A and B are shown apart, each in its own frame.
Chain A
Amino acid sequence: MTTETTPVIGVLALQGDVREHLRALETCGVRAVTVRHADDLERVSGLVIPGGESTTMWRLATTFELMEPLRKRIEGGMPAYGSCAGMIMLADRILDGIDGQETIGGIDMTVRRNAFGRQVDSFEADVSFHGLDTPYHAVFIRAPWVERVGEDCEVLASVATGAAAGRIVAVRQGHLLATAFHPELTGDTRVHRYFVELVKEA
């Protein structure tokens, strides 16, 4: 990919808030397409894994033989961004998954599913996001958090206040980005722009 052409970025469309990510990406001036088959992956230069239910995405990705193609592309350097369930999918290790639950992996981190609690504990709050000038208003829905990160994994944001203060909720490792929250629900496209830059640089 050269930076002159408009990048094509895919959104994994097995389940979840696919439309919101497509819209956020289009607002950033890239072409956004859905990815449901292994063939679709060949047409994109970056991939967003949306919010949704990680166990459902894993089941469907396994049944429709997407796990290995996804791993290959990510190992091969394709930029990827996961929000919430997408963060779980990009984690090398997970806690509180269901029996046998696998991830695509790529980011050297341990992510705990549903770490903040049940839906009544879902919340929105400002977080300071490394690389953004002003706080980012983040929406957390039955969200995971990052328990541990490896040496190469950069922490971009943590929870500021409350019982979960200090918990890691956004990370980057090379061409891979993950947030525990949902930038696609807020209309603030700065996190998507951050990812689009990663795709353009790749």
Chain B
Amino acid sequence: MSTTPASAQPENSATVTGPATGTARVKRGMAEMLKGGVIMDVVTAEQAKIAEDAGGVAVMALERVPADIRAEGGVARMSDPDLIDSIVSAVSIPVMAKCRIGHFAEAQVLQAIGVDYVDESEVLTPADEAHHIDKWAFTVPFVCGATNLGEALRRIGEGAAMIRSKGEAGTGNVVEATRHMRGIGAEMRRLSTLRGDELYAAAKELAAPYELVAEVARAGKLPVVLFTAGGIATPADAAMMMQLGAEGVFVGSGIFKSGDPAARAAAIVKATTFYDDADVVAKVSRGLGGAMVGINLDTLSEDQRLAVRGW
């Protein structure tokens, strides 16, 4: 963590007196404000409006939802700034956008056009096979995907202010998101049972910065907000992820690839708030029309899997 600017450390922010932007506290704090909410993938201003009207806490501006990226293939890149602008103008809730893993220049563009959060995302084609973006260098906060605790802590070490499970985007199948949420939870619970002198070896095993490992062991949770993503398609999917410890939900293809997007979006919002109340989840699950068809992951070849991108 020696590369971490001192001003970016939350515990030091109390010494700041003048107005300071881009501190770890305002970046991480932004994610705290999204908790209990649903962030929805949208590809047009009209979809963004539907998402806002359904009670979404933020939208993810994209050219293609993951299901279409999968279907069409080719290199998937950052969206056209004009498209992002049209979505930013259409809604008053926060707008996120994706850049490729390691593509810091795409991230600079997204910061310059004023998006509220950058998702350094495995859904796009990675631009660097060794390095993720140094996210401390930015004013805009970043969310990154993780399949396990070590990966989450490496991203936080690089400056990610929010973590989401990777899941297997664009499949409408939650099995991978379940694996990631259970895995991250189990590893955090294990850390909290270790003796202090065992945390050094744990940091080595996790390939994560020791300070962050010790912080998780102490607090029993990540130092940033943990959302879930990847394959969420129904209100019950959202409720399950929240019960497994997610603090909020990203829904990608699941809304606008379904029969009645507005109704499904509103239903997933309600199920995310009342995730532990099966009566509410049952009520909002009725009459939504068809869910997205989805893909059985056993039929996906290794090169079609997105969750393995990043490290």
State the A residues within 8 Å of B (CB): 13-20, 36, 51-53, 55-56, 59-60, 63-64, 84-85, 96-98, 113-114, 118-126, 135, 137, 139-142, 161-162, 182, 185-186
Q: When chains A and B are docked, how far (Å) is the Cα of A186 from the Cα of B28? A: 12
A97 and B92 contacting across the interface, CB-CB below 8 Å:
yes
Q: When chains A and B are docked, how far (Å) is the Cα of A122 from the Cα of B114? A: 12
Residues of A within 8 A of B21 (CB): 120-123
Contact with A along B246-257 (1 / 0, CB 8 A): 000000000000
Q: Which of B52, B117, B270 contacts A55 (CB 8 A)?
A: B52
The range of chain B's interface size is 35 or more
Nearest Cβ in chain B — how far from A126, in angstroms?
5
Residues of A within 8 A of B56 (CB): 56
Q: When chains A and B are docked, how far (Å) is the Cα of A51 from the Cα of B30? A: 10
Residues of A within 8 A of B270 (CB): 60, 63-64
B57 and A15 contacting across the interface, CB-CB below 8 Å:
yes
B274 and A141 contacting across the interface, CB-CB below 8 Å:
no
A125 and B94 contacting across the interface, CB-CB below 8 Å:
no
Give the contact stretch, choosing among B31-39, B128-136, B207-215, B289-297. B31-39
Residues of B within 8 A of A124 (CB): 13, 16, 19-20, 23, 25-26
Q: Which of B18, B26, B91, B274 contacts A122 (CB 8 A)?
A: B26
Q: Which of A14, A17, A63, A121 contacts B32 (CB 8 A)?
A: A17
Given known pairs A59-B269, A124-B16, the reply for A52 and B57 (CB within 8 Å) is: yes
B55 in contact (CB, < 8 A) = yes
Contact with A along B115-145 (1 / 0, CB 8 A): 1110000000000000000000001110000
Given known pairs A13-B36, A139-B26, A141-B29, the reply for A162 and B19 (CB within 8 Å) is: yes
A125 and B17 contacting across the interface, CB-CB below 8 Å:
yes
Please list the 8 inter-chain residue pairs (A to B) with the smallest Cβ-Cβ separation, ordered nearest first: A119-B116, A59-B55, A125-B19, A122-B26, A15-B36, A17-B32, A53-B57, A123-B19
